Amino acid sequence: MFKVEKDVKMERVPKGPRGKYPFDKMEVGDSFEVGRYDVNKMRSISGSINFYKRREENAHKVFSVAKTPNNKLRVWRTN
């Protein structure tokens, strides 16, 4: 059973950068290495990029994710 309560103020979640990847700190030409290549990790990063770009101020930013020759996963900001 749930208890219904009245007059409880809703706390606001602070807006701002969130997440574990530094997309907001990147300039064009910057990149970071995520770790060893894994398909699921690549999908997760791609999803994080799409989520980050939903905010209007980030919509114009372009990122690329790729496996490097040493079998690592890297993210670049390309625009």
Any domain includes 1:
no
Q: How far is CA 60 from the centre of its chain?
A: 15
**In which order are the strands placed within the sheet that holds 31-36?**
31-36, 72-77, 63-67
For 23, other C-beta atoms within 10 Å of its C-beta total 20
- Total domain count, the chain: 1
Query: Containing domain of residue 35, as a range?
Result: 27-77
In tens, the pLDDT along 59-79 reads 999 999 999 999 999 999 999
pTM of the predicted structure, to 2 decimals: 0.74
Q: How far is CA 69 from the centre of its chain?
A: 24
In tens, the pLDDT along 30-64 reads 999 999 999 999 999 999 999 999 989 999 999 99
Any domain includes 47:
yes
Residue 62's nearest CA partner among 74, 44, 75, 43 is 75
